[in-house]
Structure 1
């Protein structure tokens, strides 16, 4: 029996490379579709040499290219997107890639009759939550072009499900971190800021009381959720992917101080801060995907520091 081929957009990026590694371990063939604007060329060249990975260097904005490249693929993972930061600086490009690109991938998947498409959505579709933990059935109130595009992506999946029978799972990723992530990434800027200071023996500086929180989820667990969504029996639902724990910025500073091993106390910069909190209800992930996180924030952050400091 020939190996099943998975089509993965953005497969050369931070999350994509972790997903590809797991797919290869499970004996899939992988076809990466990536414009390589942020992709890891060296790593992709190594993977292509294995004979189990091919690279189509193209852009999701070109529907014909997406359609042609997807031919013969059994399932699809759609990760390609413009980041939150960039979406606010350039809404035009964001809408082009994150909405038109989404539609091109979903339409091609529907036309080719793929078994399942997994879409990287985002916890940002909720906006500022009214309660914790955040549940998939809560009100959605996306605030930036990136977040709006993620919600639109989920709505488009529903359209292609109704009109052409497309089977999908949308994973609402919470605050992803891990080795190999770009320092400019939206959710990791606070980690990088703290670590830079700690490496030189300086205390981390926290705005306000450090009460704002995030649900930090390690990229390895994110990759596991993508493969679980690809293989799960149930589909046509959005699913939260987080730890279910809201880690405050003050707690994060303590974790990183311990991981770096310096004897400092965080400094607080007293000023008004909009306190937003994040924590996922991951009941559906357990029930639908049979998935739950395996890496605690403490362990994950410690490993991240070790990989950076060596």
Structure 2
């Protein structure tokens, strides 16, 4: 390609960000990581920077002037920076500041700079508790926490700057992301860690209720592929689910992890009332708009995670 493309990636030093940056480098993008390094992996960024195609701007999305100055010359923007869903309930003020004001700073700067494509990390949590499965992009949105509300607001702001300034965007509604390098704070990763620790100690995993709660686990490698496809897709200005379309129940997850560890234990069910929430993505639009089909089955991804971890 004659003109070099520069991707500006907020949160690029985080769990998902590092996977995205590596795939962008494979596609010959120059990458500018914008990250306050609160949770970022400085060593991993330093290794990537050795290629000469990655630079780190150690700054915060809450400062609009810093965002605007740092974005100059970027052709594409990926906005991943956010505080987690758990943190958003513990501290709604910080959550709104980073996830809503911060997102607006990045989106407004992208519109000002006339970037070719803006990819937003949105979330399946914008749907709230789904009334039906699989969850489709046109379903009613009912975000329940400041984090989820911010993600929906981010999508609305993209549509506003599309109307106002012609900004071309795709919002990717990530389902339950897992994979190597993940922090242990997310609810569903803590479930994975809890199960694995017990299984490795020869103890049975303990499941609340009948284990019918389900998630749509999507491997971080597939998430990063979807981001790169969204940067280059011909269609734009739509939200797109990124999941596998398969709802894996907590009971199924326990079985997958027991098999992966190779332990001789059976799960224990703790009989109590549990709010059974289920998640599975309708993946039709991802295939049609992005040409995206997940490559890593949950059994394979979880088994690899166990091997890497131990």
Superposition TM-score tier, normalisation by shorter sequence:
over 0.9
SS in 2 for 1:80: coil
Structure 1 match to 2:176: 175
- Please, what is the CA RMSD of the aligned residues? 0.6
- Unaligned runs of 5+ residues in structure 2 are none
Structure 1 match to 2:113: 112
Structure 1 match to 2:203: 202
- Unaligned runs of 5+ residues in structure 1 are none
Structure 2 match to 1:143: 144
Displacement of 1:49: 1.7
Match status 1:133 vs 2:128: no
Alignment of 1:183-198 (within 5 A): 183-198=184-199
**Structure 1 residues 161-207: Cα deviation after superposition (integer angstroms, max 9, x where no partner):** 01111110000000000010001123311101100111111000000
SS in 1 for 2:171: strand
**Structure 1 residues 48-88: Cα deviation after superposition (integer angstroms, max 9, x where no partner):** 12100000000000000000000000010000000001000
Structure 2 match to 1:263: 264
Structure 1 match to 2:57: 56
Match status 1:307 vs 2:308: yes
Structure 2 match to 1:213: 214
Structure 2 match to 1:77: 78
**Structure 1 residues 79-137: Cα deviation after superposition (integer angstroms, max 9, x where no partner):** 00000010000000000000000000000000000000000000000000000000000
Moved over 2 A (4+): none
Query: In 2, are the aligned partners of 1:88 and 1:145 still within 8 Å (CA)?
Result: yes
What CA distance in whole angstroms lies between the structure 1 residues aligned with 2:237 and 2:101? 21
TM-score using structure 1 length: 0.99
SS in 1 for 2:120: strand
SS in 2 for 1:103: helix
What CA distance in whole angstroms lies between the structure 1 residues aligned with 2:297 and 2:47? 30
What CA distance in whole angstroms lies between the structure 1 residues aligned with 2:162 and 2:31? 24
TM-score using structure 2 length: 0.99
Displacement of 1:46: 1.0
What CA distance in whole angstroms lies between the structure 2 residues aligned with 1:208 and 1:32? 43
What CA distance in whole angstroms lies between the structure 2 residues aligned with 1:184 and 1:126? 22
